[in-house]
């Protein structure tokens, strides 16, 4: 059954573990990885994440061209986990993409999420609640990732925020965005 879930959270909040532990991930499952082993620490993290997911899952590397690769994979699999949007945005910035290019790709990703024919689970960091970045690039990254997360969250049926390994449901089927005429927030 087609559905979509965005899992947000801080560093080491349990996002990836929660994503791969979903019992609804059945049948032909693909894991779309956006990480590149740029240093020893990242190589260790990648190895740890590989060990945590089932061996029978297909792994697809998509550090830059996430939308194109995801478009291919979602047609041939019952479920797809994308881990993570944070690294994808960072990779695009390091390549030299400007904000408009990243946001255009985020819009393409959101459109793909809305029409996907499989179960999609996407993982991303919530970086807006942490320390204020000291550099212009850090500030740009934080703000851009926040915009990407908003676009993807809007497209997803469900959104969960992980805190200390615990999932907090932010959006579920039936949820509506908006404010009523009297100024009250509309609830599902």
Digitized pLDDT (tens) for each residue of the chain, 188 residues in all: 679 999 999 988 999 999 999 888 999 999 999 988 888 988 898 888 888 888 899 999 999 999 999 999 999 999 999 999 999 999 999 999 999 999 999 999 999 999 999 999 999 999 988 888 899 999 999 999 999 999 999 999 999 999 999 999 999 987 776 655 555 555 54
Spot the catalytic one: 49, 53, 69, 151. 49
- Spell 24-34 as b/e; 16+ CB within 10 A means b: ebeeebbbbbb
Looking at residue 178, its pLDDT comes to 62
Is 49 noted as a catalytic residue in this protein?
A: yes
- CA distances in angstroms from 112 to 12, 73, 171, listed in the order given: 28, 12, 19
Is the alpha carbon torsion for 22, 124, 104, 91 positive or negative? negative
Which residues lie across from 79 on neighbouring strands? 29, 119
Q: Is the pTM of this model over 0.85?
A: yes
Looking at residue 158, its pLDDT comes to 97
Looking at residue 130, its pLDDT comes to 80
Domains and CATH numbers, the chain: 3-171 (3.40.50.300)
Which residues lie across from 166 on neighbouring strands? 163
Looking at residue 127, its pLDDT comes to 93
CA distance 103 to 111: 12
């Amino acid at each position: 059954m087609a559905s979509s879930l965005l899992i947000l959270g801080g560093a080491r909040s349990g996002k990836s573990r929660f994503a791969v532990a979903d019992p609804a991930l059945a049948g032909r499952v693909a894991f779309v990885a956006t990480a590149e082993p740029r240093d020893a620490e990242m190589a260790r993290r990648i190895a740890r994440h590989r060990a945590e997911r089932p061996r029978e899952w297909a792994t697809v590397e998509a550090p830059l061209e996430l939308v194109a690769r995801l478009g291919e994979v979602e047609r041939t699999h019952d479920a797809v986990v994308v881990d993570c949007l944070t690294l994808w945005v960072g990779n695009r910035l390091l390549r030299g993409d400007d904000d408009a290019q990243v946001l255009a790709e985020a819009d393409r990703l959101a459109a793909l999420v809305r029409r996907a024919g499989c179960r999609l689970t996407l993982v991303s960091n919530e970086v807006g609640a942490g320390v204020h970045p000291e550099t212009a690039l850090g500030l740009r990254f934080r703000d851009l990732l926040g915009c990407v997360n908003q676009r993807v969250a809007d497209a997803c049926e469900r959104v969960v925020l992980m805190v200390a390994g615990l999932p907090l449901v932010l959006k579920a089927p039936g949820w509506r965005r908006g404010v009523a005429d009297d100024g009250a927030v509309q609830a599902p």
